[in-house]
Amino acid sequence: MRVSFSENLEEFEHFLGYHFHDKRLLLESLTHKSYHHENPDEVISYNERLEFLGDSVLGLVIAETLFTENNPLTEADMSKMKSYLVNKSILFETATMLTIGKYLKLGKGEESTGGRHKNSILADAMEALVGAIFLDSDYATVKTVIQRLFNQRIANVIAKKEGYDFKSELQERCQGVFGVLPEYKIVKQEGEEHKKVFTIEVYINGELYGIGLGKSKKEAQMIAAEKAFAKLMNG
């Protein structure tokens, strides 16, 4: 059954933790171009312009938050962390947490093909929402909203290096220090076909530097690379 856009938007604002002064901005941020194209007389705008603005605002807030950490981060670390925190997958997860899909205004075509659950549509709506909050209030306010929504992600990125591409990090480090590439070896596969566990070892110049277990080869390699990278960095 189609969820009507007449759902209680006050409920959404409650989830969001922000109540709009200009409700038109909220409506625009939740209006997909497919709805506008099918109903040009009903709505004169859709969320792509707000998405453009929100992308920049979000990036600035994340960059400032990382820059003002108590333990100063390097430019390289901040760049990688920011790139991870503003990527489409994180925006999609945040939008899903806020149940944005429930309130989107979609055209019939997008509605029929599951647009309320599409990663790209939800991620774009999340950026548009940030842009709408910025226009409706000020930088300090939108910063507070963003930090509340992303605080756990930011903490995990800083403390646990969540989202780091350790395979790339290890490769760069190995090439710079040793002039060679790390070598990954699958040493074990266990479990049924749909529940396999892979054990992978990573070697540098023939020396074992890390072992990783994962539900996929990629996951096991990343875990092994993370351990090898830590060993390299700790001497």
Which entry of 55, 110, 169, 226 is annotated as an active-site residue? Answer: 55
Q: How far apart are CA 143 and CA 141, in angstroms?
A: 5
Residue 17 DSSP code: T
Residue 191 Ramachandran class (φ > 0 left, ψ -120 to 50 alpha, else beta): left
22 is catalytic: no
Residues in the chain, total: 235
Q: 3-state class of 31 per DSSP? A: strand
Q: How far apart are CA 117 and CA 93, in angstroms?
A: 11
138 is catalytic: no
Which entry of 28, 51, 110, 127 is annotated as an active-site residue? Answer: 127
In this structure, are residues 107 and 121 in contact, taking their beta carbons and an 8 Å threshold?
no
Q: How far apart are CA 14 and CA 203, in angstroms?
A: 51
Q: What are phi and psi of 214, to 5 degrees?
A: -155, 165
Active site residues: 55, 127
